[in-house]
Each structure stands twice: as C-alpha cells, then as structure tokens.
Amino acid sequence: MTVDFAATRALFDLPQDVIYLDGNSLGPLPRATAKRLADCVQSEWGQMLVTGWNKAGWMAQPNLLGDRIARLIGAEAGTVMVGDTLSIKVYQALASGLDLLPKRRIILSNDANFPSDLYIAQGLCNSLGPDYQLKIVENGAIEDALDETTALLMLTEVDYRTGAKFDMGALTKKAHQVGALTLWDLAHSAGAIPVHLSQTKADFAVGCTYKYLNSGPGGPAFIYAAPHLIDKLRPALAGWLGHADPFNFSQTYEPKKGIARMRIGTPPVLQMAALETALDIWDLVDMEDVRRASIHLSTRFIAAVEASCPSLSLASPRDAERRGSQVSFSHLEGFAIMQALIARGVIGDFRAPNLIRFGFAPLYNTEDDIDSAARILAEIMRDDLWKEATYQTRAAVT
C-alpha cells in the first residue's frame, strides 16, 4: 500500500500556525469527528433515545472497534475489547494473569515503566495479601530477574519518557521459558509502530486510544488476550456486560464466551463514536508505511537539533530501530524551554525531571513541520529565550 500522507493530513483539523508534535500525548481532532459526534448526539441519542442501544448499534461497539484496532497491533480478530480506562484494563490483565498461575506471586516490571502501571500492580498485590509482590528492576536486569517465581512480566513496549523500545519477541520468549506470562502496555506503540502480538506470542496487552489513534481526550482503552487464554479468564472486575446473559439479570456471574468477558459496564458511546471516526483514517494506511515515515521524520529532527543546539543531549536511542515514534532531549531547564517552544507555536511536552519530548505522527506531520520546529528550537537556545520569567511557572498539567 502506498500512503498519501498529504491526504491523511487533510483529514485533521489542525490549528493554523501550530506545529503539533505531541500526538504521543493527545492526538489532534479528525475533521469528521465533530459531525459524527453531532449525529450521535442529535440523531441517535436525541431521536432514538434508549432504543439507540439496538438501532444505532451502541452495544456492539466494543467488539467491532476491538477488531479494527486488532489490525494495527498484530492481533487476531476476536481478541481485542474496547472500553473503560487504561488503568482498569491494566488491573484486569494483571488479575487475570495471576489467577492463571495461582502458585506464583511475583509481578516483575522495570523502573522506567509508567508510574500508573506500577501503582496499579502494587495496589493489586496489597489487596491479594503479603505473599504477592511487585518486583521492580532496572532495564538491564529484566532477563536475569525472570525466574520460576515470576507470574507476570509487565512492561510498556515504548518508554513514555525516552521512546526506547523493548524487544517484545525476545522478552516474551524469555518469560515463557520460565513459565511466566507477559503483559505489554501499548500506550506509546498502538498507531506509532508496527506491533506483532500474535507473532511474538504475547499473552496480554493493553493500550489507550487518545494518543496516536486520535480518539480524543478520555478516549476508551483496549485489552488483548491471546486466543488460547481467553476462555480460561475469570475477570476480577466481573461487570454485568461481561455476563453471558446480562439482560437475564442473574445474581450469579457467568462470563461470556470470548474476549467480551472482559467488558465491565456501560460503554462510553460518545467516545466510541469519536474513535470510530479516527479509525476510518487508520483504515487508509499500513503500519509499515507509517513506521518508515516516522523514522524519516524523527531522524531528520535529531540531526537538525544536534547540529544547532549543542546544549541539548539526546535522551532517546540513536538507532531508530530501538525507539518508538518519539524523541526526547534533556536539559536542566527543559520545562522552560518547552514553554518557550509552545509560546512560539511548536507544541511538544515536558517530562520530569529534565526531558523535552516530541512525538512524530506521519498521518499529519510533515518535513516542513520538523524543519520549522528545529529552527525555532535553535533560536530559543541560541538567544536564551527560555529565561523569560513567564516560562518558569508550572501549570497543573506539564
């Protein structure tokens, strides 16, 4: 498939005079989303009222959207379910994995994992009792720490701070060799890089849709389970829509067949309508083409910044194959530098303690974007523009 990225860019409602390099935090608005949401509100909710669950197909959304995402993450049809938040899906996957291996008590993760994943794992261990433990090690110690006590290896495939990418296949194989299961967080992978859940024999995966997949703030999350595991899963959060016959209102839980057992409560219809529209754009592209374009843009940006901003240090892997679709540079005054960039129309973001972070999304980012962003960053660094007092104050979201 040959992708016309100029055509996909035209499908987004991007503000004029803004270079948006923060799709790894929140994707921009697809042009068709506003109309789709208006139709959902006015024609479906407004006119169909409660009959929309059947007439508009609201109840089927979690499964249908799951299958559409499955294509982007190398998963089989019928293995991905959409709904709830990423935190809830992490909890579901962890609890299910521990339930499958009742004689094991260790969740293994790394110290660079997204903190929320670690918090959820620790909270689950606390609930299960003192025999359960979250073991956190440095990246280089992961393989040595895997042993016969490990129940689950929980990793985020692409590091949220630096973009460093794990080898999913190699680590999953190592985990399986000691009898452990794997849980991969794809928050910075889905829509950013080709993911091969089936090929690598991953056991569980979770991810959000509001970053590269462009479903909008608060967009629903997804969960994947390997086909051979699905019908063995006993959901710890056993909601009524995961019941085999939810409208029979039985007081005893019996899970649905298939991945639908990982449904919990009422699906967020408006957010799923937005996700439907965003995925229409993804239906036009192939992830391998997206990856090639992403590597080209990120490599171009690194070269331009290093040539003009010697005080910035590359914090991401230089080898493009070892990073996702984002690039980070470090500087002690990273927060102020990013605020100065944003004030000049280049939107990236900051991650404590000292990283300025840029996401590359070929669906709407161009070479001109990258060249202009690097030029503006060079001006800020050359003239110490970040020293202005207005750039020192931190808002609630950094």
Length of the chain: 398
Would residue 114 show up in a list of annotated catalytic residues for this protein?
yes
What are the strands, taking DSSP E only, across 273-379?
313-314, 326-330, 346-347, 349-351, 355-359
Four-point Cα dihedral 393, 397, 186, 361, nearest 10: -70
Q: Which of 344, 351, 357, 364 is catalytic?
A: 357
Q: In 3-state terms, what secondary structure has residue 310?
A: coil
Distance of alpha carbon 43 from alpha carbon 68, whole angstroms: 24
Distance CA 32, CA 38 (A): 10
Catalytic residue (one of 89, 165, 211, 261): 211
Q: How far apart are CA 72 and CA 57, in angstroms?
A: 23
What single letter denotes the amino acid at residue 209?
A: T
Q: How far apart are CA 238 and CA 230, in angstroms?
A: 14
Active-site residue 132, yes or no?
Answer: no
| Catalytic position from the list 117, 159, 185, 203 | 185
Residue 105: name the closest of 84, 88, 129, 70 by CA.
129
Angle separating helix axes 61-72 and 269-282, nearest 10 degrees: 30
Active site residue 300: no
Q: How far apart are CA 159 and CA 359, in angstroms?
A: 12
**210 is known as an active-site residue:** yes
Active site residue 391: no
Q: Scanning the structure block, which residue is given the tokens 């393989």?
A: 143
Which ranges of 192-316 does DSSP label H, i.e. alpha helix?
197-200, 227-230, 269-282, 287-308
Q: Which residue out of 20, 91, 166, 210 is catalytically annotated?
A: 210
Cα–Cα distance between 117 and 88 in angstroms, integer?
Answer: 10
Reduced to 3 states, what is the DSSP secondary structure of residue 271? helix
DSSP SS3 for 161: coil
> Do residues 327 and 303 touch, judged by C-beta distance below 8 A?
no
Catalytic residue numbers, as ranges = 114, 185, 210-211, 357
